Amino acid sequence: MRLPVLFLAVLLGACAQQPARDDSLYRALGERPGITRIVEGTLLNIARDPRIVERFRKIDIQRLRNKLIEQFCVEAGGPCTYTGDSMAESHKGQNVSRSDFNALVEDLIAAMEAQGVPVPAQNRLLARLAPMRGEVIER
């Protein structure tokens, strides 16, 4: 009878241990304050970007700001929860083109550069966001 009890104890102990969350990107981006500055910089860049500014005229920018902060925080491994719609749902019917998407990415990169985010950290964030591209373009 001792073997099943020992096995159960080992199994429960293994289940209780969560793998360590990798928050190194979150830290490299400046944690929540840094991510907030990056998002706000991106939105300011979009406001000055004639290629895509019209796409954002009728959008609740405060809500977009908050959801982007949540999303970037989650993607960076931070202690956040994303409460927005899926990317597919958010962009449904908007017919976002490749050039629109690329312009937004350029505005994001410029915001990260302005905040002094190292290029490796920029690339890590972009790599984590890249899979969403297919959910956004021409939906």
Confidence category of residue 139, pLDDT binned at 50, 70, 90:
low
| Amino acid 20: pLDDT | 60
Q: What span, in angstroms and rounded, lies between the C-alpha atoms of 77 and 71?
A: 10
Structure tokens at 101: 């998407």
| Amino acid 56: pLDDT | 93
Tell whether pTM > 0.85: no
Domain range enclosing 56: 22-136
Q: What span, in angstroms and rounded, lies between the C-alpha atoms of 106 and 60?
A: 21
Evaluate the CA torsion angle 70, 105, 28, 87 in order and state its sign.
Answer: positive
CATH code of the domain in which 51 resides: 1.10.490.10
Is residue 67 a part of any domain in this protein? yes
Is residue 14 a part of any domain in this protein? no
User: Does residue 4 carry a pLDDT above 70?
Assistant: no
Task: Give tens-digit pLDDT for 6-62.
Answer: 444 444 444 445 556 789 999 999 999 999 999 999 999 999 999 999 999 999 999
User: Does residue 3 carry a pLDDT above 60?
Assistant: no
Place of tokens 């990107």: 25
Q: What span, in angstroms and rounded, lies between the C-alpha atoms of 34 and 64?
A: 17
Q: What are phi and psi of 102, to 5 degrees?
A: -65, -35
The structural domain count of the chain equals 1
